């Protein structure tokens, strides 16, 4: 993953962790946790979730970047996904005539507090994490 693409020009990855994923015949998903240093010096914790669908008429790949925080700018608490539940359902293909999808997938995420590496804990405690609009 490109640090500048996730957290802007001049950003650097400080730590990254593969949070797992799955692969099946028609789709795959993967998830990584990144602790970034933005160009302004602030710390940024981002989860990158990638979903690839190969069974659709046109295969698609989606990337979702998640910054889950508690409180206002400078929050010292960030979250990462600790589990999920996926529900799938289908209806007759005739619904395509009405512009509806014949299949539906819902992914419910569960979050738990993110613990930054010890070497960054004091900085997070003192300054918190970057928030949109905070710089």
Residue 132 lies in a domain: no
Greatest CA separation for the chain:
58
User: What was the pLDDT predicted at 120?
Assistant: 93
Tokens of 61: 């790949």
Residue 109 lies in a domain: yes
Q: Which domain holds residue 67?
A: 3-127
Residue 134 lies in a domain: no
In order along its 135 residues, the chain shows pLDDT tens digits of 678 888 889 999 999 988 888 888 888 888 899 999 999 999 999 989 888 888 767 888 888 888 877 766 667 888 887 877 777 777 676 767 777 776 677 778 788 888 889 999 999 989 888 877 655
Residue 133 lies in a domain: no
User: What was the pLDDT predicted at 69?
Assistant: 78
Q: CA 54, CA 123: separation in Å to the nearest integer?
A: 42
Q: Token pair 């500048």 is at which residue?
A: 4
Residue 22 lies in a domain: yes
Domain count, the chain: 1
Residue 70 lies in a domain: yes
């Amino acid at each position: 993953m490109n640090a500048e693409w996730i957290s802007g020009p001049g950003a650097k990855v400080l730590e990254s962790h593969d949070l797992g994923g799955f692969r099946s015949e028609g789709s795959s998903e993967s998830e990584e946790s990144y602790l970034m240093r933005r160009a302004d010096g602030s710390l940024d914790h981002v989860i990158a979730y990638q979903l690839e669908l190969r069974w659709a008429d046109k295969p698609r790949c989606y990337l979702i970047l998640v910054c889950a925080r508690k409180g206002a700018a400078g929050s010292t608490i960030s979250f990462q996904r600790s589990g999920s539940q996926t529900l799938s359902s289908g209806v007759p293909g005739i619904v395509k005539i009405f512009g509806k999808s014949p299949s539906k997938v819902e992914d419910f995420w569960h979050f738990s507090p993110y613990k930054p590496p010890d070497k960054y804990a004091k900085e997070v405690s003192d300054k918190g994490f970057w928030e949109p609009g905070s710089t």
